[in-house]
Amino acid sequence: MILNLSSINSRKEIVQKLFRSIENWFGTQYVYGGKSKKGTDCSGFVAQVYKEVFDISLPRSVREQRKLGKLVSNKLEPGDLLFFKINDTVSHVGIYVFDSKFIHAASQGPSIGVTKSSLKEKYYKSRYVFAKRIITLPPYIKEKNTEKKSFKTLLNN
């Protein structure tokens, strides 16, 4: 299942909608098995954002989410799902946004709950396994560097 969004909205509109949705989740506490803004875990967060932004119902667990989409071996794009191996199994997921940053519901570490992290951080770099693309964004229009501007708020949170 890969959804091509090029005929629905412009890339700018889609990415801005994604960033707005994610911003509304910041600060949500981590709750294992949760999937609301009162408390969520990583797969619940991902599933809810995908439903809000793309109207796609993802499975509830990391185990099932990792089976979807296509492997991304080149440039990551906003909305790609990142999977991490924690305790010897692929058991954590986040949403890639921009510039090696991703948003996820962390259960431990310096920031617990929905937070932003970087693939360059030692902890996540050593546990990153693969990325999957569930949605295909319309092509990037070079003269309008709107993703970076829209993302500025996320980077500064």
List active site positions.
42, 92, 104
Do the Cβ atoms of 102 and 82 come closer than 8 Å? yes
Buried b / exposed e over 11-37, threshold 16 CB at 10 Å, is bbebbbebbebbeebeebebbeebbee
